[in-house]
Structure 1
Amino acid sequence: MIKTLQSYGLKSDHLYAAGFVSIGLSYTSWAISRIKKGDSKSQSDRWGIFIGHWAPSFFALGNALQLAELKK
């Protein structure tokens, strides 16, 4: 999988940035869902948690790519 990501031109910095963006999106989706009149508090929490789960995956892939970059 790491070789495939590298073949697409992705670098560890890209995936670290995606992790931080997903944290921001998690908060933003939670806040927007809280403002909407039709959504309940539990629905808002679910949206924030769903998107918040992406960050660790991006950071882990970024770490794996960084290790592969160091081996070159």
Structure 2
Amino acid sequence: MLKKLHDMGLTSDHCYMAGVVSIGISFLSWAVCRQHQNGEVERADRWGIFVGEWAPTLFALGNGLRTYEK
């Protein structure tokens, strides 16, 4: 799978950047959801956690793709 992603042009830098962006989107989705739900903390927390779980996966893909870049 990683070789196919590498052959398609995806680099580790793309994955690392996507991981950092997902952390920012996680915070943003938490803040927006909390504001629009009149302070309903549980739903806002679920949205933030859902998006925040993408970051470790993207960082792991970046590490795997780095082996093909050497």
Q: What interval of TM-score do these two structures reach, taking the shorter chain for normalisation?
A: over 0.9
Residue 60 (structure 1) aligns with: 60
Deviations 1:18-54 (A, max 9, x none): 0000000000000000110367210000000000000
Number of aligned residue pairs: give it: 70
5+ residue gaps, structure 1? none
Runs of 4+ deviating beyond 4 Å: none
Deviates more, 1:37-46 or 1:57-66: 37-46
Residue by residue, what CA displacement relative to the aligned partner does 1:48-67 show, whole Å, maximum 9, x if unpaired?
Answer: 00000000000000000012
Relative to the length of structure 2, the TM-score reads 0.93
Q: Distance in 1 between matches of 2:18 and 2:10?
A: 11
Q: Partner of 1:41 in structure 2? A: 41
**Percent of pairs identical after alignment?**
53
